[in-house]
Amino acid sequence: MAKNHAGEPSEKGNKVSVPDFLISSVVPAGTQVTDPEHGGAITIGAAGTVPGVTPGASNSNSSSAQIYILDWTKTSLGSLPPGYGLMDPDTAPGFLTPGIVLGHEIGHVQYAWGKGSPAALNTGQNAVMRENDVRRWMDPNAPVRARDVGIP
């Protein structure tokens, strides 16, 4: 039997299709990518600067996924501005790290692959849950992400 990238049995080509292609790319600010979960064509860049610009994006289907993360060594990831209901509490900017951004996008991929949390009603909720996993690993008392929306 074939093995996926994690060395686990893969049923691809048999009755059950197991997704096993996940490609992550670190890209410079200004890169145009396709992210169907966030409105289609979007631009990678610092959060909280320009409407529609985001430091992370993903493009998934049932058998593969591509994640894009802003190159944080050259451009700040930015932060989630308070006052838009993005964070709980929503009184201070939501800080971002590469792990937080990656956790969020993995949540979108996980949902697209049918492996999301049973409690997640949609891809955005699953992305927020995985993002908050990372936030809580870093600091159990940190503010958490409240919802997944376009960053103003």
Binding residues for Zn ion, per CB under 5 A? 127, 148
- Min dist CB 37 to Zn ion, Å, is 6
- Min dist CB 8 to Zn ion, Å, is 27
Q: Which is nearer to Zn ion, 127 or 143 (CB)?
A: 127
Q: Which is nearer to Zn ion, 96 or 148 (CB)?
A: 148
Enumerate residues 6+ apart whose C-beta is below 8 A from 65: 19, 21, 22, 23, 58, 59, 109, 112, 113
Q: Which is nearer to Zn ion, 10 or 106 (CB)?
A: 106
- Bridge partners (DSSP) of residue 33 are 42
DSSP 126-143: HHHHHHHHHHHHH-TTS-
How far apart are alpha carbons 34 and 14 in whole angstroms? 30
- Min dist CB 52 to Zn ion, Å, is 13
